[in-house]
């Protein structure tokens, strides 16, 4: 059963790897168990996913130079508050 229980260092490494490739089932299950119990690693995972999505959006914006994405200052502030609130709930 020890292969199911991972420490934070192992989980953050595996979460990062999981963005690049599909992990074996036992590692995915171990990560899920750990994330269920650890709010810090869960928050780390959410932040990585957020960064990945932000980079995808940036790439799309650069590719689509004819129509850059612009937001009003109010919209930017609402989005910022929403991200902060979702991270604090983790």
Q: Is the pTM of the predicted complex or chain greater than 0.85?
A: no
pLDDT band for 4, please (50, 70, 90 cuts): low
Q: What's the rounded Cα separation, in Å, for the pair 72 and 89?
A: 26
The pLDDT of 80-86, averaged and rounded, is 82
Cβ pair 11, 41 in contact under 8 A: yes
**Structural domain boundaries in the chain:** 2-89
pLDDT digits (tens, 9 = 90+) for 6-40: 899 999 999 999 999 999 999 999 999 999 999 99
């Amino acid at each position: 059963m020890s292969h199911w229980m991972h420490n934070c260092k192992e989980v953050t490494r595996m979460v990062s790897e999981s963005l690049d490739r599909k992990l074996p089932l036992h590692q995915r299950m171990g990560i899920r168990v750990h994330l269920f119990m650890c709010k810090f690693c869960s928050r780390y995972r959410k932040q990585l996913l957020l960064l990945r999505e932000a980079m995808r959006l940036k790439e799309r914006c650069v590719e689509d130079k004819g129509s850059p994405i612009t937001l009003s200052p109010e919209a930017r502030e609402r989005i910022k508050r929403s991200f902060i609130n979702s991270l604090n709930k983790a």
